[in-house]
Amino acid sequence: MERILNLIDGRLQPPAGDAWLDVHAPATGTVHAHLPDSDAADVQAAVDAAMHAFPGWVALGREGRSRVILRLAELIERDLERFAEAESLDNGKPVHLAREVDIPRAVANFRFFATAILHFASEAHLMDDIAVNYTDRQPIGVVGCISPWNLPLYLFTWKIAPALAAGNTVVAKPSEVTPYTAYLMSRLCEEAGMPPGVLNIVHGTGPRVGAAITAHPDIHAISFTGGTRTGQEIARTAAPMFKKLSLELGGKNPVLIFDDCDFEAMLRTTVRSSFRNQGQICLCGSRILIQRGIYDRFRDAFVERVKALKVGDPKDPASDLGAVVSEPHMEKVLSYVDLAREEGGTVLCGGERVRLDGELADGWFISPTVIEGLGPACRTNQEEIFGPVVTLMPFDTEEEALAMANSTPYGLASVLWTQDVKRAHRLARQLQAGIVWVNCWMVRDLRTPFGGMKSSGVGREGGFEALRFFTEAKNVCVRL
């Protein structure tokens, strides 16, 4: 059985305590690897290495760092197929999705920030003849990056790429549920010319490794993506230590469909925004609000398309949905379907575990699920389910749709379908969300600010926002 190792000070190594955890393949429910159950001692070794490496990494300059990061991107791209298969094995997602989205995006994250840093300029403020101020943005030092299981390498690199480009050294923890591609990447760091200690990857659980990173006094910034409750816990520890915090948390994203929309484009995209990656993307639209005049037409056409989706072997190019990430997660998602029924909802399709044949018989598959008949205030419509489950709700007026859209504690993304330009701009301004997509979904420009409001998080990732987060701004005022 393959053993995943930590990367500390440029060396792949077992955890100090020699304790190990199982890594499961969601499609079969079997153990496919073992993972370090690291603890605070491993985090300490990683922090020591990162502190030691920091001055040299800064001294390499932005062009030197950029070259190393670009080389790492090239090596991941060279091994793309291996990475895509590993991501699918670990996470349960279709291989074609990992090949087309996850791994290319990880490569793009490195390329984007390796080149963004070359264009990252700071401000100067002239005070007539009195003085000149300039902003010196220096790397912070050692930073912590903690990432989740839904888009494993994609979100891991979304954090470490800007952290490294900006000149920090990193102690990172991928999700213990999906550690495999981060490990494959750590095996390429030496070949990429990454100096030892610049990037350290410590595997293990949230309460042991994640908490030790969050609480470590020599880690001065934490970038986290994951559940809202975990985000609260991290903030509780890090805030009194005055660490910089970037928290990208959950969502309960509304999709607002008006009767003047391009129906076919909306339908096609709404199937994707509901069930892509088994609905396990923080940006998926899980509450679909439809103007009453087209409610029946939408419901019938949508359910027909959803029933035609294939839940199947992640290796099969024809599979639209693979397995959800873990057994507890499958149970959590299915418990929400039970809750929806208790709350008076009608399950129009799906709502069950799917049993496939052969070695996939014990895999964690769920049929894509559409529910109607629930009001906006019930738990099913307020809490993040994070699986292949969506609800349909009718509305009459724009005001009603807006009130429903904004009625949850979350505020990550919103999707708006209308041909009325004025309405699109009007609503985009009023929707409580960090991201608003009009007549599209998941169209991503890496330069744009990315993140949520309310319980969906604090701070913005992406573009120069991320480089600002991973640097400390100092104003230097020079008397003229």
Least distance (Å) from ligand TXE to the CB of residue 447?
Answer: 21
At residue 178's C-alpha, the angle toward residues 173 and 179, to 5°, is: 50
**Shorter beta-carbon distance to ligand TXE: residue 198 or 281:** 281
Q: CB–CB of 364/326 below 8 Å?
A: yes
- Give the shortest CB-371-to-ligand TXE separation in angstroms: 17
**Residue 48 burial class via C-beta count within 10 angstroms: exposed 0-12, middle 13-18, buried 19 and up:** middle
Q: Look at residues 218, 217, 214, 192 and name the one whose alpha carbon lies nearest to residue 205.
A: 214
Q: What's the closest the beta carbon of residue 267 comes to ligand TXE, in angstroms?
A: 25
Of 109 and 418, CB closest to ligand TXE? 109
Q: How far is the CB of 90 from ligand TXE (least distance, A)?
A: 13
Our CB check for ligand TXE shows the closer of 294 and 333 to be 333
Residue type for 1, please? Answer: M
Q: What is the dihedral angle through the alpha carbons of 80, 21, 365, 409, rounded to the nearest 10 degrees?
A: -90
Structure tokens, 35: 């993972």
Active site residues: 248, 282
CB-nearer residue toward ligand TXE: 183 or 298: 183
Contact present, 88 and 94 (Cβ < 8 Å): yes
131-139, strands of its sheet edge to edge: 124-127, 131-139, 471-479
Nearer to ligand TXE, 280 or 291 (CB): 280
> In 92-209, where does DSSP find H-type helix?
95-97, 103-116, 152-165, 180-186, 189-192
Please state the φ and ψ torsions of residue 353, each to the nearest 5 degrees.
-70, 140
**Which residue ranges make up the site for ligand TXE (CB under 6 A)?**
146-150, 173, 175-176, 205-207, 210-211, 214, 225-227, 230, 233-234, 248-250, 282, 384, 386
DSSP 270-319: HHHHHHGGGG-STT-EEEEEEEGGGHHHHHHHHHHHHHTPPB--TT-TT-
The residue with its CB nearest to ligand TXE is 206
| Residue 260: CB atoms within 10 Å | 14
Which one, 150 or 269, has the nearer CB to ligand TXE?
150
